[in-house]
Amino acid sequence: MICTPIVAATPDALLAAMTAAAVTADWLELRLDALQTTTETPPSAAGQALRRALARRPKPVVVTFRPRAQGGLRELARDERLAFWRDALQTEAEAFDIESDLAEPLLADYAPAHPVWSRIIVSHHDFAATPEDVAGFAAARFPPCAGTVKLATAINRPDDVCRLFDWLLDGPPPTRKIPVGMGGYGIFTRILGPAYGARWTYAAAHDGRAIAPGQLPAAELRHAFRAPELNRETIVAGLLGAPVAHSLSKDIHNAAFAHLGLNWVYIPVETPPESLGQCLRDSVHPRSRRLPWQVGGYSVTLPHKTAVIPYLDRLTPTAARVGAVNTLLVEGAELIGDNTDVAGAMRPLTERFEVRGKRVAVLGAGGGARAVVCGLADAGAEVTVFARDLGRASALSERFGVLVAPLDRFRGADFAGLVNATPVGMAGYAEGACPVAPEKLDGLTWAYDLVYRPRLTPLLQAAARRGIAALDGLPMLVAQAAEQFARWTQRSAPEHVMLAAAERALAARSAAT
């Protein structure tokens, strides 16, 4: 189930937000610590707002009145909180989320056998770390009479998530549990927690704001990740990179899984370089994986396309030739590195333009350039790589037998086609810039920009003004994803569905900005 926090400054705003959030939420968390009070004391104002909300609640509610030290939105003294709860526990709310430091004084009011405890969630937030002994910490912190216990902790390394799932799965629980991993790697608890027994997962606030690190909008949890449909048979795929928030891969792959009715989910995992080895060991590799689900495969993006290689059992011939990996395959006990960027980059290009025997310029010498140069060389093009870093470009020359030159030496009149494999012009990176002076494009027949956000980059705009045929990077993104999908699932990828999903996601992001 999905629980959406309602963060509103006034009782009227609280009522309006409940109605809107109920469209995608199963439960509503009334964050009464967000209310802005005037003359009344916080407990009495919150109590009045609670009663109004309960009379009009469209979904079951969990009541929260959290102090700032535990992730709340205001300073609340312990006496204020106790006064609020002694009143609130008399109401008909379906659940109450009470911090663990109040469990002992409330036990003086309500004996462990009192039925109110079945509606109480005893929670604890640690924004610095995850306890080494999660089970021991929980046993010492939470009273056995609590109907539900929630432990929300900062995730500093992949092992932290493994220990949270160990706690969640540790025998038949006397109480229901909600483990919450805060931060990028904690996304596993947010998407897969309920599939493994967590009472629910918390979405971002009703207005889309993440009020704890790593929260996802309820609509995304429900529709993109299909969180309510996931179970212990769900096969997990995903993306390893840093950053990953901008990626469209989750939209593309999850749309394809849904279209074909496959019990798979694709999860982007923020993986900083220092965590890559442990992430692969604990989450991905079939011989050492500690997390409980079956892994179907992973995508790999920057900055890990070459760094991942030492952790793999072997490479496919294509990945070995390119010297970079963008796809992880699981075969028996082996973790195999593959590369679908080559096929992904070349298929849209060769469907539109002739490259065999043609002179083609490639801008850049990074991972994208490697794939393009490999594909062009194998297709019989005469390739010249133009780059600022001639050392990196020389490595491409040695690997693929192509020419290299300084970036400022490029002239369109010398080539039939141009491929931009640099990030210049991408939203958020040199946005609005062109990787070469527009007048240098004169003489080209076509221009291909691997950047897909925006689809019409400054380079392609300049090319179009000169009558040069243009190809953007979105077809490559979809084509390489389709190749991954087919290799993981052994099913033909529904590329029209994947492209439509990518276009919808791009349009939504453009509208949001």
Specify the pTM: 0.93
Write the CATH number for 319: 3.40.50.10860
In this structure, the answer to whether residues 379 and 402 fall within a common structural domain is yes
Report the SS3 class of residue 64.
strand
In this structure, the answer to whether residues 192 and 321 fall within a common structural domain is no
Please give the pLDDT value at position 246.
84
452: DSSP letter: -
In this structure, the answer to whether residues 153 and 18 fall within a common structural domain is yes
Question: Where in the sequence numbering do the catalytic residues fall?
Answer: 305
Write the CATH number for 143: 3.20.20.70
The tokens for 135 are 């089970």
Please give the pLDDT value at position 213.
87
Distance of CA 87 to the CA centre of its chain: 40
In a domain, 271, yes or no: yes
In a domain, 354, yes or no: yes
In a domain, 486, yes or no: no
**CB-CB contact of 452 with 474 (8 Å):** yes
Q: How far is residue 461's CA from residue 125's CA, in Å, rounded to a whole number? A: 50
In this structure, the answer to whether residues 309 and 354 fall within a common structural domain is no
Report the SS3 class of residue 424.
coil
Rounded alpha-carbon distances, angstroms, from residue 300 to 61, 245, 310, 419: 40, 14, 14, 22
Q: 285, 287, 239: which is closest to 266 by C-alpha? A: 239
In a domain, 310, yes or no: yes
**CB-CB contact of 291 with 267 (8 Å):** no
The tokens for 258 are 């849904």
**One-letter amino acid for residue 74 of the chain:** R
Cβ neighbors of 44 (< 8 A, separation 6 or more) are none
In this structure, the answer to whether residues 313 and 379 fall within a common structural domain is no
- Dihedral angle over CA of 109, 115, 116, 117, nearest 10: 90
Query: Where do we find the tokens 């490697």?
Result: 370
- Owning domain of residue 207: 2-220
**CB-CB contact of 246 with 268 (8 Å):** no
In this structure, the answer to whether residues 253 and 378 fall within a common structural domain is no
Write the CATH number for 445: 3.40.50.720
In this structure, the answer to whether residues 39 and 151 fall within a common structural domain is yes
| Per-residue pLDDT tens listing for the chain (513 residues) | 999 999 999 999 999 999 999 999 999 999 999 998 755 667 788 999 999 999 999 999 999 999 999 998 888 999 999 999 999 999 999 999 999 999 999 999 999 999 999 999 999 999 999 999 999 999 999 999 999 999 999 999 999 999 999 999 997 667 799 999 999 999 999 999 999 999 999 999 998 888 888 999 999 999 999 999 999 999 999 999 998 988 899 999 999 999 999 999 999 999 999 999 999 999 999 999 999 999 999 999 989 999 999 999 999 999 999 999 999 999 999 999 999 999 999 999 999 999 999 999 999 998 889 999 999 999 999 999 999 989 889 999 999 999 999 999 999 999 999 999 999 998 877 788 999 999 999 999 999 999 999 999 999 999 999 999 999 999 999 999 999 999 999 999 999 999 999 999 999 888 776
**CB-CB contact of 65 with 106 (8 Å):** no
**One-letter amino acid for residue 232 of the chain:** R
In a domain, 493, yes or no: no
Cβ neighbors of 118 (< 8 A, separation 6 or more) are 147
User: In 90-197, which ranges are E strands?
Assistant: 95-99, 120-126, 148-154, 176-182
Asked which of 192, 220, 248 is the last residue of a domain, the reply is 220
Report the SS3 class of residue 295.
strand
In this structure, the answer to whether residues 313 and 356 fall within a common structural domain is no
Please give the pLDDT value at position 12.
94
In a domain, 227, yes or no: no
In this structure, the answer to whether residues 454 and 333 fall within a common structural domain is no
Q: How far is residue 332's CA from residue 326's CA, in Å, rounded to a whole number? A: 20
In a domain, 149, yes or no: yes
**One-letter amino acid for residue 424 of the chain:** V
Q: How far is residue 456's CA from residue 427's CA, in Å, rounded to a whole number? A: 11
Asked which of 220, 252, 271 is the last residue of a domain, the reply is 220
Long-range CB pairs of 434-437, under 8 A, 24+ apart, other chains included: 434/458, 434/459, 434/462, 435/363, 435/364, 435/407, 435/459, 436/363, 436/407, 436/410
Q: 6, 35, 32: which is closest to 19 by C-alpha? A: 6
Q: How far is residue 115's CA from residue 118's CA, in Å, rounded to a whole number? A: 6
**Domain tally for the chain?**
3
In this structure, the answer to whether residues 176 and 34 fall within a common structural domain is yes
Q: 215, 228, 232: which is closest to 293 by C-alpha? A: 232
Query: Where do we find the tokens 């070459």?
Result: 306
> First-to-last CA distance in the chain?
30
Rounded alpha-carbon distances, angstroms, from residue 269 to 241, 245, 276: 7, 9, 11
In this structure, the answer to whether residues 86 and 178 fall within a common structural domain is yes
Side-chain half-sphere exposure of 168, counting CA atoms within 13 A? 28
The tokens for 422 are 């640099």
Asked which of 220, 249, 278 is the last residue of a domain, the reply is 220
In a domain, 479, yes or no: no
Total residues found in the chain within this entry: 513
In this structure, the answer to whether residues 257 and 329 fall within a common structural domain is yes
